[in-house]
Chains A and B, each alone.
Chain A
Amino acid sequence: MSMLMLGVVVLVYMFLIAWLGYIGYKRTKDASDYLLGGRKTNPIIMALSYGATFISASAIVGFGGFAATFGMGIQWLCMLNMLMGVIVAFIFFGRKTRKIGEQHNARTFSQLLGLHYGSRTIQVFIAVVIFIGMPLYAAVVMKGGAVFIEQMFHVNLDLALLIFTLIVSAYVITGGIKGVLYTDALQAVIMFACMTFMLFWFYHMMGMSFTEANRELTDIAPLVPERFKALGHQGWTRMPVSGSPQWYTLVTSLIMGVGIGCLAQPQLAVRFMMVESTKQLNRGVLIGCLFIFFTVGSIYHVGALSNLYFLQTDGVVASEMIGDMDKIIPLFINKAMPAWFGALFMLCILSASMSTLSAQFHTMGAAFGADIFPRLGRAKNPNSTLGVRFGVLCSILLSYVICYVLSAGIIARGTALFMGVCAVTFLPAYFCALYWKKATREGALASLIVGASTSIFAMVFLHKAEAASIGVCKALFGKEVLIDVYPWFVIDPILFALPLSVLAIVVVSLFTQKKGVEAEV
């Protein structure tokens, strides 16, 4: 594909993004518009934005490469993304979140729980976790987007990072959540179209049916490289050996960690408060599931089947073609897809990165300007958006600095770190706010503190994937993890930290409630 064609496609895309950001800016009148879109967001736009925020570039390129290397077991994540991330999230969490949010006039996730439990401490604690933890997650997305721009346009990485950050900041700071939602919707449509086309083109190109392709993939199981067989890999259409390192990574980290973790993501939960009524959420279930099924399902499926293509054209499987898992999907696109699709796929990856990043910037800005410093810039006008805009700017600068200050190893684990901390810290208090009337503010606070401290401790000292990159355990105790007996260091912290956090809210709530009743008597 020529640079001219690529340039034209990107220019048209940037023009559309700028135009949508401008519409968001024009339609933002006060703080409620800036934070929640005035609670009157179109359900289709909300659901598309939810899906686009949910699916980052790493879900496409990273997990697609994982499917190419380790096979179709990752489809459990697609299923859980639909079941937990859309069906359970919209029907069981979304409806109540919207109602309670409206009752309390809450505008952020932290405010929702803070007002529900009647505790400013809870609100600030959640906002601080978001403002400190999310820049790490944002840095992953920023670096991923910048690396992609660097490779496509052959520009310096620093320049690519600066350009990418400036473009996203421009429409988040000016357009607020409306700018984010409108651009997300466009980006979701691009992602949906690209992934669906890729799925159908694959079968057209290979001349196989769904079942035939799967059967061929089953038959090439003996070609699994020895280094992966040692980790438990049994073939691309089989689950890894139970209890093997690959099994623990797939089941505890990817399927359970990300599958459950998505329920307590502040940038996703807040979208439920942006719609006017329950029926908008009902419509969102359909749109959200369709989007996940065709975007995530397609890339995981084609990722695994790309082995057939590489075997046919180059005589080796995907992981033997290129060592870096993250480069398998871009290589497959370059070799197997039509030349014009390369430009569209680039927009797809840019869209996935930008939609996730814009939501992160907005959520961090809201945590800073609406939760931690709610009076900032509101001395004269209580509806001013100045404080939140300043918060967005601070969060962008913080994320930008993290890209340079922290090591690549830590940044690469940023998504898992943040999702793990979010799930363990927020989920019990969030769930109980919606469904357990006996939960007390002391119980919620205990759960937040236990969840945050346990998950951070586990990631620094117990879970090898993060502990080895962070390096604190090595510096203090001379070994990468405290318990170096298999399988303890490969089990994701969510498996034991989440039950502890649940236990904390149940026990402390029952105890403090009893005390409260006795005091009343």
Chain B
Amino acid sequence: MLGIEDPGIYLAYLLAIACLLFSLWFGITHWNRDDKENTNPKKPKI
């Protein structure tokens, strides 16, 4: 695959591309999505 015979190498490439595609999907679909949970800032104790 991709001119590389060892699955130990082409898997690294395929997974890197999968990570890139996931990040594109995630970034675009979650671009404006925020958590609804409110945070409650406290003053530092120490």
Q: Is the CB of A210 within 8 A of B16?
A: no
**Given A210-B3, A218-B5, A278-B34, A79 and B16 contact (CB-CB distance below 8 Å):** yes
**Whole-angstrom CA separation of A72 from B27 in the bound complex:** 28
Q: Is the CB of A283 within 8 A of B31?
A: yes
Instruction: Tell me which residues across on chain B come within 8 A of A297, comparing CB atoms.
Output: 16
Complex partner residue of A105 from B8, B12, B30, B41, CB under 8 angstroms: B41
Q: Is the CB of A238 within 8 A of B9?
A: yes
**Whole-angstrom CA separation of A347 from B44 in the bound complex:** 41
**Whole-angstrom CA separation of A76 from B2 in the bound complex:** 16
Complex partner residue of A99 from B27, B30, B33, B39, CB under 8 angstroms: B39
Q: Is the CB of B41 within 8 A of A78?
A: no
Instruction: Tell me which residues across on chain A come within 8 A of B16, comparing CB atoms.
Output: 75, 78-79, 82, 293, 297
Q: Is the CB of A239 within 8 A of B6?
A: yes
Instruction: Tell me which residues across on chain B come within 8 A of A104, comparing CB atoms.
Output: 42, 44-45
A37 close to chain B: CB less than 8 A? no
Q: Is the CB of A288 within 8 A of B23?
A: yes
Give the secondary structure class of A's interface. Answer: helix
The A74-110 residues at the B interface (CB cut-off 8 A) are: 75-76, 78-79, 82-83, 86-87, 91, 95, 99, 102-107
**Given A218-B3, A285-B23, A72 and B12 contact (CB-CB distance below 8 Å):** yes
**Given A218-B5, A282-B31, A286-B28, A79 and B42 contact (CB-CB distance below 8 Å):** no
**Whole-angstrom CA separation of A244 from B19 in the bound complex:** 29
Residue of A nearest to B20 (CB): A293
Instruction: Tell me which residues across on chain A come within 8 A of B35, comparing CB atoms.
Output: 95, 99, 277-278
**Whole-angstrom CA separation of A76 from B34 in the bound complex:** 32
**Whole-angstrom CA separation of A71 from B10 in the bound complex:** 12
Stretch from A115-123, A320-328, A469-477, A479-487 that touches the partner: A115-123
Smallest CB separation, A47 vs chain B (Å): 10
Smallest CB separation, A123 vs chain B (Å): 6
What is the interface size of chain B, counting residues whose CB is below 8 A from a CB of the partner? 34
A214 close to chain B: CB less than 8 A? yes
Instruction: Tell me which residues across on chain A come within 8 A of B3, comparing CB atoms.
Output: 210-218, 237
**Whole-angstrom CA separation of A297 from B24 in the bound complex:** 16
Instruction: Tell me which residues across on chain B come within 8 A of A216, comparing CB atoms.
Output: 3
Complex partner residue of A239 from B9, B13, B31, B37, CB under 8 angstroms: B9
Complex partner residue of B20 from A82, A217, A279, CB under 8 angstroms: A82
Instruction: Tell me which residues across on chain A come within 8 A of B30, comparing CB atoms.
Output: 279, 282-283, 285
Q: Is the CB of A76 within 8 A of B12?
A: yes
Q: Is the CB of B8 within 8 A of A73?
A: yes
A60 close to chain B: CB less than 8 A? no
**Whole-angstrom CA separation of A103 from B3 in the bound complex:** 51
Instruction: Tell me which residues across on chain A come within 8 A of B33, comparing CB atoms.
Output: 278-279, 282
Q: Is the CB of A237 within 8 A of B5?
A: yes
Instruction: Tell me which residues across on chain A come within 8 A of B32, comparing CB atoms.
Output: 279
**Whole-angstrom CA separation of A278 from B35 in the bound complex:** 6
**Whole-angstrom CA separation of A218 from B4 in the bound complex:** 7
Instruction: Tell me which residues across on chain A come within 8 A of B6, comparing CB atoms.
Output: 237-239
Smallest CB separation, B42 vs chain A (Å): 6
Q: Is the CB of B8 within 8 A of A238?
A: yes
**Whole-angstrom CA separation of A75 from B14 in the bound complex:** 10
**Whole-angstrom CA separation of A237 from B35 in the bound complex:** 44
A289 close to chain B: CB less than 8 A? yes
Interface centre among A75, A111, A216, A290 (most CB of B within 10 A): A75
Q: Is the CB of A286 within 8 A of B26?
A: yes
**Whole-angstrom CA separation of A75 from B28 in the bound complex:** 26
The A169-211 residues at the B interface (CB cut-off 8 A) are: 210-211
24 contacts between A and B (CB under 8 A): A71-B9, A72-B4, A73-B9, A75-B13, A75-B16, A79-B12, A99-B35, A103-B40, A105-B42, A114-B46, A115-B46, A120-B46, A123-B46, A211-B3, A217-B3, A237-B9, A238-B8, A238-B9, A282-B27, A283-B30, A285-B27, A287-B27, A289-B20, A293-B20
| Chain B interface residues (CB < 8 Å from chain A) | 2-6, 8-9, 12-13, 15-16, 19-20, 22-24, 26-28, 30-35, 37, 39-46
